[in-house]
A = this chain, B = another copy of it.
Amino acid sequence: MNQHTIDRLREIVGQDQVSTLPEELACYSYDGTGQEYLPAAVAFPGSTEEVCRIMQLASATPFPVVPRGAGTGMTGGALPVAGGLVLVMSRLNRILEIDPANQIGVVEPGVITGDLRKEAARHNLYYPPDPASLQFCTMGGNVAECAGGPSAVKYGVTRDYILALEAVLPDGRLIHTGVRTAKGVVGYDLTRLLVGSEGTLAIITKITVKLLPAPEARSTLLVLCGTMVEAASLVARILAHHTPCTLEYMDRTALAIVRDKLPFPFPEEAGALLLIELDGQQDAVPHATRQLTDFLQSQPGIVQSRTATSPAEAEQLWAARRAISPAAFSLKPHKMSEDVVVPRSRLPELVSCTEKLSRELGVVIFTFGHAGDGNIHVNIMLDKNAPQEVRQANTAKQLLFEEVLRLGGTLSGEHGIGLTKAPYLDMELDPPTLALMQQIKKLFDPRNILNPGKIFPSQVAPEKNI
């Protein structure tokens, strides 16, 4: 990007809304992966119109454009691997509408997910998706990655709540997908094609979401199991008869990492913990909780089970759960975090596999996550400055992926492919399916300017840091 291009960008978004200062560029060079790529410039558009004009400029010039929410992504979706412009959506952060009669909301992409949830709650409505980063991450990023979260086991993922999108194509054309209604089948489902497309097809500028009536009550149960395999095998049995709104899992290592945050003494005899929540109408939740408690008493492998006695105790459990990911760096300085998924009946086999890999390769691996979905976060810890550890970690990752696919699973439940999983994409997708996806990318973005180098590794622009 030369000075002329920067000047043109300033004409579009305003003098103060473009920066090429190294200290500012550094702020937008990294994301949740810890990797860093310096862009040539950052811009802060203030309207959809400005996004259109930026993309017209980008496709005419051309230069790469990487849309960015809060940079909390776990696979490098917001990294400007080919340099160019990072488009920070933070000024487009208005909740434009909450419509209680029709239970929908309309937001700009820079709205923090937690803020939408709070605003919905003020109208007694509920936006279910709850990624662990919900207090920081943005709706635009959630849509781009199809974010999940603990509530997905009952409520589904971001995809299930997106009714309509306004988006800017790489050449600057503005499109409107979907409907404001509960149903709609007019033309192809571009809405869901864009959800989860990781910012490679279009820049999302407006999001219409479906909201639900807020659950009136909630209860939290804690189940400690003797072994990880016992905990994993309990999951499918619970879901055959009960509908929890979360069914989270932590292995012994994960528990140990956050031991001083637990609202109970560290359970020496427990190999794994299940954190279960039920929600619903005021008078239905106590009944459902009793049913689940009775059921659990009949199940083998349970060391201890208890119901949180207060919202404060439940919140303490959740604080511990959320602290796992950051606290993991007490084990090793670096982490590979894989959000693999298997059909939930295969969870015991997945858990056995991670134990075996850890033992045989001498790698520190711990697991936690959304057991109810079969979506386990497998964390492979390493020191990237120790070549042997890197080699062993990569071997563990490769063998893990092979096992996941053998079990009928998928390589990513909610983090996406981005940069870090791109080399493994063809393990899961067969050649014609992968080729078709690449053709779709080329159709939307023939000059490969929008978030190049993501999902499909061969599409990295040849010159880095343009």
Which residues of A line the B interface, CB within 8 A? 99-104, 145-146, 148, 152-153, 157, 159-160, 169, 173-177, 179-190, 192-193, 195-197, 201, 213, 236, 239-241, 243, 281, 283-284, 287-288, 341-345, 370, 372-375, 408-417, 421, 425, 428-430, 432-434, 436-437, 439-441, 443-444, 455
A443 partner, pick from B148, B409, B440, beta carbons under 8 A: B440
Copies in the assembly, this chain: 2
Per the bound structure, the CA–CA distance linking A113 and B344 in Å amounts to: 26
Q: Can you report 28 residue pairs joining A to B where beta carbons are below 8 Å apart? A: A100-B240, A101-B236, A101-B240, A102-B343, A102-B374, A145-B185, A152-B182, A173-B432, A174-B432, A175-B433, A175-B436, A179-B341, A180-B343, A181-B343, A184-B413, A186-B412, A186-B429, A187-B425, A187-B433, A187-B437, A188-B196, A188-B201, A189-B193, A189-B195, A189-B196, A190-B436, A283-B287, A436-B444
> With contacts A181-B408, A186-B412, A187-B433 known, what are 17 further pairs, Cβ within 8 A?
A102-B344, A104-B343, A146-B189, A152-B183, A160-B160, A176-B429, A179-B341, A180-B343, A181-B374, A182-B344, A182-B375, A184-B413, A185-B416, A189-B197, A190-B433, A213-B243, A443-B443
Whole-angstrom distance from the CB of A458 to the nearest CB of chain B? 14
A417 contacts B174, C-beta separation under 8 Å: no
Instruction: List, in ascending order, chain B residues with CB within 8 A of A179's CB.
Output: 341, 409-410
A177 contacts B433, C-beta separation under 8 Å: yes
Per the bound structure, the CA–CA distance linking A281 and B160 in Å amounts to: 24
B414 contacts A341, C-beta separation under 8 Å: no
B181 contacts A409, C-beta separation under 8 Å: yes
B101 contacts A344, C-beta separation under 8 Å: yes
Chain B's closest residue to A341 (CB) is B181
Instruction: List, in ascending order, chain B residues with CB within 8 A of A428's CB.
Output: 186
Instruction: List, in ascending order, chain B residues with CB within 8 A of A148's CB.
Output: 183
B432 contacts A169, C-beta separation under 8 Å: yes
